[in-house]
Amino acid sequence: MKIYLDDERATPPGFVRCWTVGEVIDLLKTRSVTHVSLDNDLGIPGKENEGYQVVRYLEDLCDERNPDGDITFPIPTLRAHSGNAAAVQDMKKGIEKLHRWKDKRFPGTYDMSGFSGQYHMYQGNG
């Protein structure tokens, strides 16, 4: 399953649309998500409602130093697509860490073919 988190842009073909961080996390818990494309600013006040929180959730869940974590969790291929330059940079750091963990734990499963680009900056708000 491919997930697209955004409050404004059109959902690309083949992706399931999510409007909130909670919806994305609920779908991730099914362990059937292969790709996630994240907007950061979702039009809902509060840092807990930013796309970056999905990256933080996965970092915490998949960190082998976390005694409550799950190093067997199938880390999806992730991409940031936001107009918020600072958020994209924060997400990029976390995404790259997650992709390194994924490549280390599950060699050969890193697949960007579902995306047109790894990080995309949009003009304007978003």
What pLDDT digit, counting tens, does each position of 26-57 carry? 999 999 999 999 999 998 888 888 999 999 99
Query: How far is the C-alpha of 28 from the C-alpha of 55, rounded, in Å?
Result: 11
Round the average pLDDT of the chain to a whole number and report it: 83
Backbone angles phi, psi at 72, to 5 degrees: -90, 0
CATH T-level assignment (fold) for domain 2-121: Rossmann fold (3.40.50)
Average pLDDT over residues 99-120: 62
Pairing of strands 35-38, 16-18: unpaired
pLDDT value at position 109? 60
- pLDDT above 70 covers what percent of the chain? 84
pTM: 0.82
